[in-house]
Structures are given as C-alpha cells and as structure tokens.
Amino acid sequence: MILTLSCADRPGIVRAVANLLFDRGANIIDAQQFGDDETGRFFMRVVFDAGEAGADDLRAALEPIASAFAMTWTLRDPKVRRKVMILASQTDHCLSDLVWRWRRGELPMDICAVVSNHPAETYSSVDLSGLPFHHLPVDRETKLEQEAALWALIQQTGAELVVLARYMQILSDGLAAKLEGRCINIHHSFLPGFKGARPYHQAHARGVKVIGATAHYVTADLDEGPIIEQDVERISHRDTPSALIRKGRDIERRVLARAVRWHLEDRVLLNGKKTVVFTD
C-alpha cells in the first residue's frame, strides 16, 4: 500500500502514522517526508506491507488521525493500475515513447484511450494495436463541442490521469479546472522561459547554451502549472533550429515519462504552485 499525506507541520505526525501502521500489523518498507519552512506544510509518502489489514480497515483507522491533523491524504494499492488517457497531435514521439514504455511494463498504467485531433493514419509509425483510438477534430468554431466530447470520453472511460503528449490544443479554463492535479503536459521548453509556440526557434534566436523540457500539471494559466520534472542539454552556436528540435525530442520523451511514472507511483504531492516530488 502507498499512503501520501500533507498537512500543517507540527510535532507528532510521523509518530501517529507509524504507530497506527504498527498497531495494524503493517510493515513499513519505505518512508519519505519533507517539511517546507516557507509554507509550514508537511509532506509524507509511506510504502508498506499491509499484512492482514484490509484497505477499508486501514482507511477507517486513518480517518481520526487525518481529521486531527487536517490532512489531505490518499491510500492506494499499487497493484491497482490507474486508467490513463493520452492526447496527441501531429507530433508522435512522446506518444510513441509512452506506448513503448507501457508495453515493456515500465509504466504501471492501463491506457484507456488515445485521443487526437488528427486521424489515426498520422501515427503509422506508432504501435497502437489493441488501444482504443478516438479522432476528435477541432477548429475555432467547434472547440466547445470537441471539448465536451473529450470530457464525456474522460468520464466514460474512467480516466484517472490525462497526459498531453504534445497535444497542441489549449484546454479551456473549465476543462483545466476539472482536471486539476490529474492532467500532465510536456512543454518543449525549459519553463518559465520561451513559453508558447516555437520555443526552440525562440531559443535559437536568443543564442541560448542549454535547451530543455518541462513536465507540469495543467492549470488555467497557460504553461504555468506546478512543475513536476525538467531536464536540459547543452548546445552550441553550431546547432540549427532543426538540430534543437531533434535534440529536444529526446529530452521531452524522458522528462514526460519520468513525470508520468512518478505520478502513477504517488510520488508527486502538490504544494501550492509547486510540487514535492519523492523520487526513487
């Protein structure tokens, strides 16, 4: 089982949790915690063998402690795989990478749908066999209808996480709010620099010496959601915009994959406009 929690920092939190698990015969396998001096918040992730204790019994036992400390918390069996919907547009490298990692067992998820505003033929180089594919075309006149269809599909499939794998459509404020904390975007830039379209061309024009990518949760504020993961690579004056795009694809793939895996493993906790990430 995996327990995650956050609350106002005060003495006794770790002891209360550890004592409860001990009393229920559970064995703690891994525990990570962090107290944020700036916000006064405490964050904790505990992986444990529940032994004879059932999930419902543990939840009932945790309720009084969670109430006493005003915790935001989750308790989840990692054997139960989350349903994930992947959204993509014309560029397919992030979609291809996620599907490949999923097929190899690197990402503990069930892909409940692949959705694109482009037809299936766009992804002839991606192995989408056995995966439900949905083509939801969109333009300025049909954006509201397309988002309504997308939201209906999210509800219908029971998607617990939505991944924007270079999905080049801006989600409306309303849909972003509905997906708060469960929609991950990969931005092909080292945010907060070079937001919006064509960031590699922007970077080239400025003569930057490193390029990068950022995986973050989607919010109504474009490209300003809580950051989960970032990575960079050094470049030189010899690199053209095309070279930056090629190198950037590699960064985007690995950054998005790490962010998705960490979310699936309950390693990411929201801390206002930031995140606490308990990496492995």
Locate the domains of the chain by residue range. Answer: 2-76, 82-277
185-224 confidence digits (pLDDT tens) = 998 866 556 666 677 677 667 777 788 899 999 998 877 8
The answer to whether 128 touches 99, Cβ cutoff 8 Å, is yes
Bridge pairing between strands 210-217 and 227-234: antiparallel
Architecture of domain 2-76: 2-Layer Sandwich (3.30)
Q: State the catalytic residues.
A: 223
Q: What CA–CA distance (Å, rounded) separates 197 from 23?
A: 55
**Are 180 and 216 spatial neighbours (Cβ–Cβ below 8 Å)?**
no
The predicted-structure confidence for 32-88, as pLDDT tens digits, reads as follows 999 999 999 999 999 999 988 888 999 999 999 999 999 999 999 999 999 999 999
Among all chains, which residue has been given the structure tokens 């327990």? 3
Q: Which of 90-104, 108-122, 198-212 has the lowest mean pLDDT?
A: 198-212
CATH number for region 82-277: 3.40.50.170
Q: What is the mean pLDDT of the chain?
A: 92
What is the spatial distance between Cα 192 and Cα 208, in angstroms, rounded to a whole number?
A: 14
The fraction of the chain above a pLDDT of 90, given in percent, is 79
